[in-house]
Amino acid sequence: MDFSYFFELLINGALTGLMYSLVALGIVLIYKSAGVPNLAQGAMVMISAYVIWMFTSMVGLPVYVSIAVAVVVMFLFGLLAERLLLRKMVGQPIIMIVMLTLGLEIFLRGLGPGFLGAAPKQISLGIDMMPIIVGDVFINREYLIGGAIAVTMIALSLLFFRTRLGTKLRAVSDDHVSSWSVGISVERAIGISWGIAGVSAVAAGALWGSVQGVDWTLSMLLFPAVAVVILGGLDSIYGVLVGGLIVGILGSVIPGYVDPLVGGGTRDVVTSLIILLTIIFRPHGMFGREDIERV
């Protein structure tokens, strides 16, 4: 067995997985505070990549300035989405909320490419395209930086949940009514969590946009992100890290050996199997909190 091939798949898979966790982080942040599964996160990543592209090539700002602008835009977008859409859905059955976020996903998928052009676009973050060579192993430099940023973001969100605001959000995620009774504004907390999810979408959008170009396929990142979230547990930030690594590694190593045999496309199969097996054997994921249902 060729070990350098294996290590290359392993390392690049792990780094891709960390970049998946960047997308997944937004889903967890919202689920943790609002209990809403945000299936529009893929489209939010796509929209933030479009916003960054718009400010770099149409307005002509430097790329890092436009990322900062995109952070503001997406934070406001998150606040708006909560205010206009999700606030009315309190107490509705889960199917309604799932379909609402899916409807938002479909809408944004038409909005971005419709107004800004469907042809793939480039975002250049100024990262050297040459791979780093360690021994016999080629490591993609963009993935390496992406992985580092993902770890930083996850660490930041862990720290964030220890601040005063983060404590409020944790209280809201535990129980809405009790949070109200101690004077926490639940609506504002949920709105802020949507805003932060928008900010994490900007990080994901910038990195994935520079890796694979900006077009509607960015919203397909939702599927691996959902696998990460299900595997790690819907309300666990550690789970995002570990789940991302596992989904990335399995989604790189298994196709690396199986694809030549069956003719491609195994990555989606691995992702689907991860979702399915997790749900059948441990529905709340590795680190998630188990729901106890009472009649």
With respect to other proteins, which residue has the nearer C-beta, 165 or 269? 269
Q: Binding to other proteins by residue 121, rule CB under 8 A?
A: no
CB of 46 within 8 A of CB of 216?
A: yes
> Shortest distance, CB of residue 102 to other proteins, whole angstroms?
6
When binding is defined by CB under 8 A, the residue of 9, 69, 108, 197 that contacts other proteins is 108
> Shortest distance, CB of residue 151 to other proteins, whole angstroms?
26
Q: How far apart are CA 291 and CA 295, in angstroms?
A: 13
> Shortest distance, CB of residue 231 to other proteins, whole angstroms?
11
Torsion region of 215: left, alpha or beta (phi above 0 gives left; psi -120 to 50 gives alpha): beta
Helix axes 141-160, 237-262, angle to 10 degrees: 150
Each residue of 241-276: b (16+ CB within 10 Å) or e? bbbbbbbbbbbbbbbbeeeeeeeeebbeebbeebbe
Q: Binding to other proteins by residue 268, rule CB under 8 A?
A: yes
Sign of CA dihedral 232, 23, 31, 223: negative
Residues present in the chain in total: 295
Q: Binding to other proteins by residue 118, rule CB under 8 A?
A: yes
CB of 191 within 8 A of CB of 83?
A: yes
Q: Binding to other proteins by residue 230, rule CB under 8 A?
A: yes
The stretch among 144-152, 165-173, 241-249, 257-265 that binds other proteins (CB under 8 A) is 257-265
Phi and psi at 127, nearest 5°, equal: -95, 135
The stretch among 91-99, 121-129, 135-143, 193-201 that binds other proteins (CB under 8 A) is 91-99
Cβ neighbour number for residue 203 with a 10 Å cutoff: 25
CB of 64 within 8 A of CB of 126?
A: no
With respect to other proteins, which residue has the nearer C-beta, 137 or 234? 234
With respect to other proteins, which residue has the nearer C-beta, 105 or 142? 105
Site string for other proteins, 165-204 (x = CB under 8 A): ----------------------------------------
With respect to other proteins, which residue has the nearer C-beta, 147 or 232? 232
Helix, strand and coil in the chain, % to nearest 5: 75, 5, 20
The stretch among 2-10, 122-130, 239-247, 269-277 that binds other proteins (CB under 8 A) is 269-277
Q: Binding residues for other proteins, per CB under 8 A? A: 37, 85, 88-89, 92, 94-96, 98-100, 102-111, 113-115, 117-118, 223, 226, 230, 234, 262-263, 265, 268-269, 271-273, 275-276, 279-280, 283, 293, 295
